[in-house]
Chains A and B, each alone.
Chain A
Amino acid sequence: MTTNVNIRLALDRVNMGLLAQNQANAPRLYTPGEVVTAQQGFMKGHGTYVEGDDIKASVAGVMEQVNKLVSIKPLKSRYVGEIGDVVVARITEVQQKRWKVDTNSRLDSILLLSSVNLPGGELRRRVAEDEQAMRKYLQEGDLISAEVQNIYDEGTLSLYTRSLKYGKLSQGLLVKVFPSLVKRRKTHFHNLPCGASIILGNNGFIWVSPSSRSDGEGGDGGFSQNLSEIIPRGDREVIARLRNCILALAHCKMMLYDTSIQYAYEESMKYEVHELLQQEAIFDVAFLTQHRLRLQEE
């Protein structure tokens, strides 16, 4: 067994921008201070400001236009929540009757005790005992999947997990990407045919875990974690490969959704899992994925 070390030179850095060049409909990227529109009659939206008669971009990103409203959606940003979004989040603090949760947004989000399903699934008023046992359900560091229920005035998100598909996450791997790269879809829970399930959180947190065999529907509302279960090597390879593929797509600023991830996974099969950390492999996988996605569109 030898140590694999790979030190490459910055001179040889693979230009991931080449991917965008061979894309016919690559979105135009605006930089801060750039004039978005000089015409009259437009309204400034998020990520823009007015100087003179022009509307200029205040962040780097792509333009979105809804009728007369012009806004710039930043490429890199914190998560801006919307009601109904699926998020993957981490508990940071246990407070009175609520948990503080990190959702990658600007402010901490909250999860009220009244918006979780109690173990056992019974529906009842939360009593003092439940309050005392809060840390037993969810403690600091725990990951959950949840949905945004409400947005308070100052921008704090209120989450809920009162559905069987949400709840505490067990063994698996968290991948962090920019929130803007996660494509909004009808469903964000996927059981991929390669043998792993992923939760694509709108907040840029992606949860990759082995396909649950028993609890396909979420099971018990999820407070149980089976820590003694050892994930077999095969599942691990799938998970690690998915992780590297997701990061490869994210590195090339490609949108993440079930199809793109599945394609990237299939295209990556010619590489060993650890080879997918190399820039050439990242570029190759992204390029082939892009190609396949385009073929599918046509």
Chain B
Amino acid sequence: MANVALSEAEKTFILHGVEEDFRCDGRSRRDYRPMELECEIVNNASGSARLRLANTDILVGVKCEIDTPTSLHPDQGKIEFFVDCSANATPEFEGRGGEELALELADTLTNAYESPSAFDLKSLCILPGQHCWKLYVDILILECGGNLFDAVSLASKAAIFNTRIPKVTAAVMDAGEAELLISDDPYNCTRIEIDNIPILVTVCKIGDCCVVDPSAEEEQCSTASLVVGVSKRNNKCYVSHTHTVGGGSLHKDTMYKCLNLGVTAGATLNDALEKALRLEESRVGNKRKETVGFLK
């Protein structure tokens, strides 16, 4: 992660603040910073979203392409995550500097989406064994202000919600090979069910306490954090993946505490995201006139 140097005194100040349940910006340990979301910001992608969480800025674009399913799972589609850490975010990402972090983020997302009850790949299948949709989820990190995991997962979920997959109107069988006819009408499309799609919640252990949504400075003060993938099913939240970040280790009691906090925070976060997404859709309608974008 982008390293910010902190002096011992600053770290002490942050640490005591977390223990007091009053963080440097006035939040409690369980509060998130305000976020800003906009869907359909990239015109030439099937779906896109931009999420800004304080200083963390994430742009996600989803492209769908027709692919052949693997022989192992002939009835499943594919999803691939690619994270690009822009050198605009921090000079450290220049060249290959951001590669490690990018891989870590992409792997965590892949793992969180892996379970069939978290993300149903079968819905992406067109003709079992022959054709399926492959979703390319391209994530661009434009600015780093801490808590990348949460922001990336929220933005991805929003972009997938925004994704419109064109409908396949007909399949012509030609010598055992199916040829697909894709609808030309941009409004003749299917959507992806996002109810179960997991989000990631980073629970950061600072001192003896756990906090959600750590800022870049707070991340510096923690030795270990736990990324919890939270997926909702039948209005209940489940852990779909966990991943530890940082060099430290966690005691099993702390781990349990972190998981608990992660799941409850994840539930609220999920609800808030879905509410925002539906609100935006109802306000914008089917046709988007103009995007707000980055300026202003």
Residues of A that sit less than 8 Å from B by CB: 1-11, 13, 15, 17, 90, 92, 140-143, 169-174, 225, 227, 230-231, 233, 236-237, 239-241, 243-244, 272-274, 276-279
Contacts and interface: CB of A to CB of B under 8 A. Distances in A.
B265 A3 contact: yes
B269 A5 contact: yes
B26 A5 contact: no
B79 interface: no
Nearest to A13: B292
B30 A3 contact: yes
B212 interface: yes
Nearest to A281: B34
Given A233-B20, A240-B22, A277-B54, 5 more contacts: A5-B269, A11-B280, A240-B24, A240-B25, A274-B26
A276 B30 CA distance: 17
Given A3-B212, A173-B13, A244 B35 contact: no
A9 B22 contact: no
Contacts of A240: 22-26
B119 to A, nearest CB: 21
A231 B16 contact: yes
Nearest to B32: A5
Contact of B34 (A1, A8, A142, A231): A8
Given A2-B268, A4-B31, A17-B296, A244 B25 contact: yes
Interface in B258-296: 264-265, 268-269, 271-273, 275-276, 279-280, 283-284, 291-293, 296
A6 B272 contact: yes
Nearest to B274: A7
Contact of A236 (B17, B30, B31, B293): B17
Interface in B221-273: 264-265, 268-269, 271-273
B26 A171 contact: no
Contacts, number: 138
B191 interface: no
Interface string B2-14: 0001111110110
A170 B7 CA distance: 9
Given A3-B31, A13-B36, A13-B296, A143 B26 contact: no
B37 interface: yes
B296 A15 contact: yes
7 contacts: A3-B212, A8-B276, A143-B9, A227-B12, A272-B26, A273-B26, A279-B34
A9 B8 contact: no
Contacts of A8: 34-37, 276
B272 A5 contact: yes
Nearest to A175: B24
A141 B26 contact: no
